[in-house]
Amino acid sequence: MTKLVIDTVGPATSVQDAGRHGAQRYGLPPSGAMDRLSLAAANVLVGNSAFAAAIELGPLGAKLSVRDGAVRLALTGAERPAALDGQPLAFNESFTLAEGQILTLGVARGGVFSYLGIEGGVGGEPMFGSLAVNARAGLGSPYPRPLQAGDAIAVKSAAPSVERRLDLPEQQDTPIRVVLGPQDDEFGAAVEIFLTGEWTMSATSDRMGYRLDGPQISHLHGHNIVSDGTVDGSIQVPGSGQPIVLMPDRGTSGGYPKIATVISADLGRLAQRQPGRPFRFQAVSVEEAQDAYRTMAKLIRSLPDLLRDAQHAIIDLDALLSANVAGTAIDALAAE
């Protein structure tokens, strides 16, 4: 059986898919990809369904190889240096990793998470309907934890095929949209401070929650409420006054007032925000949030129609060096 081998890897790299749903009433969080659009793009490039399991690469680098065959892969999401046996690889294009080759991935730049789509998906046993890793809960497959050096993932051996590319629309660096509430009435004038303030991600953020650094948000009646349900993107404000955006590995309920909720269409953009890079929030209506989600869902459905054959230019260096690319040389000072 063909295996994709993790030779070296940094923290926060794990197998993720669309997540496990329908069990939050039992306290089971959904988990799943931090950036669902990038996950979908990686999968479509290798012929999978949009939300099949893939490798979510954390901000640091990795080296991978393959054993007993070859595997078709694709990289999307936060760009980072990527090379196959030292030859640079393009993002948003599929490629084939053969036995004996090394895929080298550097540190992410301009984002946090990249996605490695694997033709045929990841071999593993679903846990509550999903392979998504939630390390705190000990859930996920083939490993219920972040990937480590020496791990080997069962994959489908690649058949000869034309490599594909995706031309994705460029994402705009606009404010992160939120719907206010459900407890925005607990903050009074601090809601305006929340919306007009400049925020950055704390380096202590993780897949459970993104801690924000910025102006202090004060409560009108204290920071404790009767615990109620949370969703991906809920923005809780604890006693410190520094908001926390709940992410896919969050708890399913919480006892801090929630000033707003990041809309689903912008949660991936927020997840890709690097620590120290400033941003702002913008309040929108529920109807606007739903329209934005429909637009994103339409884009994901259209990804197979955006596929094109990749044009990999292969340069023959020996032929180039032997070619007379300058034409005939003459001495300008010589008499005619």
pLDDT in tens, 120-149: 999 999 999 999 999 999 999 999 999 999
Domain-ending residue, one of 133, 163, 193: 163
Tell me if 331 is assigned to some domain: no
9 with 155, same domain: the answer is yes
Domain count of the fold of the chain: 2
69 with 113, same domain: the answer is yes
26 with 136, same domain: the answer is yes
What's 238's domain CATH number? Answer: 2.40.100.10
131 with 201, same domain: the answer is no
Tell me if 216 is assigned to some domain: yes
106 with 181, same domain: the answer is no
Tell me if 317 is assigned to some domain: no
Alpha helices (runs of H) in the chain, residue ranges in sequence order: 36-45, 190-196, 264-271, 286-302, 317-322
132 with 208, same domain: the answer is no
**What integer pLDDT is reported at residue 2 of this predicted model?**
96
Tell me if 321 is assigned to some domain: no
Tell me if 279 is assigned to some domain: yes
**What integer pLDDT is reported at residue 165 of this predicted model?**
97
Tell me if 267 is assigned to some domain: yes
116 with 241, same domain: the answer is no
124 with 78, same domain: the answer is yes
152 with 181, same domain: the answer is no
Q: Which domain holds residue 57?
A: 3-163
29 with 82, same domain: the answer is yes
Domain-ending residue, one of 139, 163, 187: 163
Give the residues of the chain that fall short of pLDDT 70: 312-336
Tell me if 326 is assigned to some domain: no
Tell me if 154 is assigned to some domain: yes
142 with 198, same domain: the answer is no
149 with 7, same domain: the answer is yes
